[in-house]
Amino acid sequence: MSTLLSSRQCVINECSDTVNRIIGGEEAVPHELPYQVSLQWNYNDDSTKPMHFCGGALLSDRWIVTAAHCKTSYTDDGFIEAVAGAHDIADPLEDNQRRKVEDMMVHTQYCGTVCPNDIALIQVVMPFILGDHVKPIRLPQAKEVFHGDALVSGWGATTPALVPEYPDKLRKVVLPLVDYDECRQLWYEVSHLANTNVCAGPEDGSKAACSADSGGPLVTLNGTQVSTDPVLIGIVSWGPFPCASPWRPNVFTGIAYFIDWIEEHMKQGLIDDS
């Protein structure tokens, strides 16, 4: 059974509200991942603090890429905020940048549940101020293939307990990338794994992403042939239920397969703003 890695949702008859997120990882050094974004539901209520529910990766001062299934709502009066430069999302005095989402463009071929094309672009109302703590991630070349290890990050519980603990500070974990043909064999009984997906995770399931890591970045730290900078190679899409199951790697939307789509929509958004 596979499930979308979002929070507080019941998908294909399985509820992931009690499932964890980053498993087997460690706390990130504050602001070492300046491309990381927290998507939070602002209840538009001074008595209720915003709730983190998905991740994202910063592409420019106004654009974020995330998972399509992160387009959701929790209350009639609330709205989505993108938070950049965050580390401790429970600290109201932390020097981060909050922006209201102006638009969220979901891939037109996304089916609405566990399936390929799980990708969306977010445009914020006001640009982020870029600097050491808030910095876009580099995109790969179209259809570029990666090997080795990659880093996934997010805010979430650290153990697969029935009542998980959710740390407030950003966490990270290194996952081995899994060849697509091998991933296809491990997920032999599902039809929604596509060649536009990237798979990552150890055989024993000791390290994994899970609910509310959705849309968060999978990044190669080895760079590419043309750059030594970190490169965004995937965004968290779906995985096993329960999370961190042996022989069940996490599945990510492969960014290299959507470069034209990303660039086209970002360019169109800039034209619309002019």
Instruction: Collect all residues with Cβ–Cβ distance below 8 Å to 215 and sequence separation of at least 6.
Output: 39, 54, 55, 56, 65, 66, 67, 70, 120, 235, 236
| 214 given a catalytic annotation | yes
Per-residue model confidence (pLDDT) at position 46? 87
Tell me, yes or no, whether 99 and 177 share the same domain: no
Tell me, yes or no, whether 193 and 230 share the same domain: yes
Q: How many domains does the chain have?
A: 2
Residue with tokens 């968290």: 236
Whether residue 25 is contained in a domain is answered as no
Determine which one of 118, 133, 153, 213 is catalytic. Answer: 118
Tell me, yes or no, whether 154 and 246 share the same domain: yes
Whether residue 44 is contained in a domain is answered as yes
Position 237 pLDDT exceeds 90? yes
Position 269 pLDDT exceeds 70? yes
Tell me, yes or no, whether 85 and 167 share the same domain: no
Region 183-206 average pLDDT: 95
Per-residue model confidence (pLDDT) at position 22? 77
Whether residue 159 is contained in a domain is answered as yes
Whether residue 6 is contained in a domain is answered as no
Per-residue model confidence (pLDDT) at position 74? 95
Range of the domain at 42: 32-124
DSSP string, 46-86: TTS--EEEEEEEE-SSSEEEE-GGG---SSSS-EEEEEES-
Per-residue model confidence (pLDDT) at position 19? 33
Give the domain-ending residue among 124, 158, 176.
124
Tell me, yes or no, whether 115 and 188 share the same domain: no
Whether residue 143 is contained in a domain is answered as no
Tell me, yes or no, whether 93 and 165 share the same domain: no
9-60, pLDDT tens digit by residue?
A: 323 223 333 333 478 889 999 999 999 999 999 999 989 999 999 999 999 9
Tell me, yes or no, whether 155 and 117 share the same domain: no
Position 230 pLDDT exceeds 80? yes
Contact present, 80 and 39 (Cβ < 8 Å) = yes
73-116, pLDDT tens digit by residue?
A: 999 999 999 999 999 999 989 999 999 999 999 999 999 999 99
Position 252 pLDDT exceeds 70? yes
Tell me, yes or no, whether 109 and 176 share the same domain: no
| 69 given a catalytic annotation | yes
236 or 16, higher pLDDT: 236
Residue 224: CATH number of its domain: 2.40.10.10
| 274 given a catalytic annotation | no
Determine which one of 69, 87, 133, 265 is catalytic. Answer: 69
Determine which one of 16, 38, 211, 214 is catalytic. Answer: 214
